[in-house]
Structure 1
């Protein structure tokens, strides 16, 4: 037998003290025994059965989100970053068995959440991200690809969400030699958009010219799984997921089952409580099991 929540058993110490301090009262003794049985029940005694290996259909997915300044552009509503963020939140809801890692990047990548099937945890990490605290500027896909290749979580699907930055040469050979399938969600438009800062001022370069951010055309050459923002984040997430769903691989997981025993002490506690507060109490008083030696003292 195994106790799944042994911490609750510490409550038995004061229960035993109370028991020996109240030997003169029959009802008090029975109430304490009932409490003892309830605590034993909530500590969840079980018999552990043999583990079974089951197959689950899920994917190893790395989501890489560009958080550079150009993601503030509003050619996608409300802006590129907020649309991308909503798309990720929609992706997290599509398959609870997917093992997902979240990386944010500018010139350098940062693992925001390690690979996990606990998708609400990833959602909390994403919602907690404060982009204004990210000091580095620009976008480096090469540094991102090097980081992704160094991560060993088996066969991987990389969902890259970016506008591509201003890189004139993207080294895709880094991914080709690895077991990584690349899917790109290109944020922005061909025409491009101005960028506004937090004060709603238009961003200008050193020459005083307006900075126009466009989708980097080199992105499309990196993969055949290339998407742009649809009418809604949900539609966009569905399109991306359908493209990688056919690549799903079944993984094996050990599942443990238990024979629950908590019902036994709980049932006994209910029976004792019922008998104590009905005419059946006389049977308890006459029972040798509960006719304790009243001369017992606690030392």
Structure 2
């Protein structure tokens, strides 16, 4: 066994021995005034630990804690660790042209996001950062501390360098100075290419100083105007300048042994660029070291010290019946629970959950956080589990975890309500949007936040649109119902009118039949009378003339009756047609148009047949066509 930090033993143990030696040898204050016999008679026996016994226990506790601080371990062999890196230098263009918004949100912000993504994807590489415009500056030397590099990278903007422009030569010179001369240099440029058309000088310099240039083009060939912070656009000679992606910079990459890639919205371009850099680069060994492996023993002295502390601070009796079983039960309880070991495992699990969240393994992170939250019932764990579930697009489960997270701090509670509102908003239905608004309002009551306020307004607009759409759908449904009812009503009215018309026609026909029957009877009676007169007596000449006149009169009466009958039929047809036109103006107009159209296409025979059908009992020929014809006169007729 050995100690990782033996200095604690050297410096702390002597002081502890001296301090407790004085405490143990010191007499009690009342012992200076009374003898031991008197004190024995005055003291009430309580069968508890004496002051010296307690001090002795405290002395042992201090010694055991000092041993734990010294780090007792058992050696478990050696392992060799080798550090290798390709040493990538990132050059970020921060000229004003990078403010163009032809990519989202603009070229500079997109380039910074790409650089940060590269830091995340290459954790084992040394990475440095250079900012350049007209002049170039070293922002961060090559370093494994990616968090520090990312912090410096995020602070860069177009105001970091006062003189604007894009000078690639000055940037290459800074790269050459910042990396050792004998090493192969790998440079990743994030730029829109500036305005230069010929990069021959830069290519020659890069080849001479052994610099492999990789270029990630940020921007589009169509370009965009450059918008400054005050809202104005950069102008030249009174005209707004449109900055475009300069694809000529590809020569600088391809002719120096590197690769040129145009940026995209996803991280596919960064992954492809990192693969190309690793394929072209030769990783050099930076450091090789052998380290010892140890088995830690710190838990044993620390656990024993805690056990003695419980005994020293209790009022346990010295009687054997109480003391021995109590100590054994306490030792068994502490040994079975192993609080120190469990706490360490929890820490390791939480660290694993955090790393899983960083690497976008959200479901795994949520599972670990949720498991720990159920055991510990801690609000932070429920909150972290909810965030991971939100990222995994499990919004309903995320809301349940947000509801379980309760914080005493107002800001934390406000943030929890805000995130809960985001989860409700992602669900998208009307009820969820209303709950999202409630969560945002609760958050803003606790703490005012710009993003939460914007989210609240956006969700209110979305809810309003949904309600308007719902109302429009209800109105459309009601309108369709009303139209359907109106159609049914019109059809019913048409049917009633047709039935009424058919009944009227039948009545008229019946009346005419009755009238004809009466006339026939009257004529028959007259004929009978005449025949009887002829039989009874022979008619004279005057009678013959009179009979002839009567016959002519009867003939004229019949003709008049016939004409009157035809006239009444025609008037009835005309009145029926007028009534039909008045009740069914729209259908009649359509019928007339169709009739005219058919007339232009009909033969004389077809026209005569159509007119005959039109003068029948039916109100329109369209209605007649829906009935089955009993007899077909010609199979070649058109289906009008």
TM-score normalised by the chain length of structure 1: 0.79
Matched, 1:269 2:287: no
* Cα distance change on mapping 1:88 and 1:271 into 2, 3 Å: same
1:78: Cα distance to partner?
Answer: 0.6
Of 208, 212, 227, the residue aligned with 1:181 is 212
Structure 1 residues 40, 109: closer, same or farther in 2, change over 3 A? farther
- Give, in whole Å, the separation in 1 of the partners of 2:305 and 2:65: 7
Equivalent position of 1:193 in the other structure: 224
1:212 corresponding residue in structure 2: 242
Give the drift of 1:192. 1.8
- Give the CA deviation at 1:145: 0.5
Post-superposition Cα deviations, 1:241-278, rounded to whole Å, max 9, x if no partner, equal: 12112235263532523424534543553564476567
The question of 1:164 aligning with 2:199 is answered no
Return the alpha-carbon distance in structure 2 between the equivalents of residues 17 and 130 of structure 1. Answer: 62
Question: Which of 207, 229, 233 is matched with 1:202 structurally?
Answer: 233
What is the CA deviation profile of residues 188-240 of structure 1, one whole-angstrom value per residue up to 9, with x for unaligned ones? 122221100001211112x11212212223301112300111122x2221121
Structure 2 equivalent of residue 295 of structure 1: none
Name which one, 1 or 2, has greater alpha-carbon Rg. 2
| Cross-structure match for 2:264 | 230
Q: Map of 1:134-145 to 2, 5 A cutoff?
A: 134-145=161-172
Which of 140, 146, 152 does residue 173 from structure 2 map onto? 146
Of structures 1 and 2, the one scoring higher in RCO (CA 8 A, sep 6+) is 1
**Counterpart Cα distance in 1 of 2:163 and 2:248:** 23
Of 95-104 and 54-63, more deviation after overlay is shown by 54-63
SS, match of residue 115 in structure 2: helix
Query: CA separation in 1, counterparts of 2:171 and 2:65?
Result: 54
- Of the candidates 289, 292, 313, which is equivalent to residue 257 of structure 1? 292
Change (3 A) 1:151 1:269: same
> How far off its partner does 1:62 sit?
0.7
Partners of 2:70 and 2:231 lie apart in 1 by 57
Residue 87 of structure 2 is aligned to residue 60 of structure 1: yes
Offset of 1:49 from its aligned partner?
8.3
CA gap 1:119/1:19 in 2 versus in 1, 3 angstroms: same
1:35-91 CA-partner distances (Å, limit 9, x unpaired): 443244245355788865434564211111111111101111110011111111111
Match of 1:288 in 2: none
Q: Judging changes above 3 Å, is the alpha-carbon distance between structure 1 residues 219 and 264 closer, same or farther for their aligned structure 2 residues?
A: same
- The structure that is helix-richer by fraction is 2
| 2:503 corresponds to | none
CA distance, structure 1, for counterparts of residue 103 and residue 18 of structure 2: 68
Matches within 5 A, 1:25-36: 25-36=52-63
Q: What SS is found at the alignment partner of 2:102?
A: coil
Given that 1:163 and 1:187 are in contact with CA atoms closer than 8 Å, whether structure 2 keeps it comes out as yes
1:172 aligns to what SS in structure 2? helix
Residue 239 (structure 1) aligned to one of 272, 277, 280 = 272
Instruction: State how far apart, in whole Å, the 2-side matches of 1:2 and 1:136 are.
Output: 58
Candidates 91, 98, 105, aligned match of 2:125: 98
Flag structure 2 segments of 5+ consecutive residues without an equivalent: 27-51, 317-322, 328-640
Distance 1:245 1:27 in 2: 66
The separation in 2 between residues aligned to 1:196 and 1:7, in whole angstroms, is: 62
Secondary structure of the structure 2 residue equivalent to 1:97: coil
CA offsets 1:64-121 (integer angstroms, 9 cap, x no match) = 1111111101111110011111111111111311111111111222222221122122
Q: 1:74 to 1:197 in 2, by over 3 A?
A: same
User: For 1:32-43, what aligned pairs fall within 5 Å after superposition?
Assistant: 32-43=59-70
Between 74-83 and 130-139, report the one with greater CA deviation: 130-139
Q: Partner of 2:114: helix, strand, or coil? A: helix
TM-aligned CA distance change 1:267 to 1:111, over 3 Å? same
Report how many aligned residue pairs link the two structures: 281
Unaligned stretches of 5+ in structure 1? 284-299
Alpha-carbon distance in 2 for matches of 1:131, 1:17: 65
Change (3 A) 1:37 1:146: same
Instruction: State the Cα distance separating 1:3 from its structure 2 match.
Output: 3.9
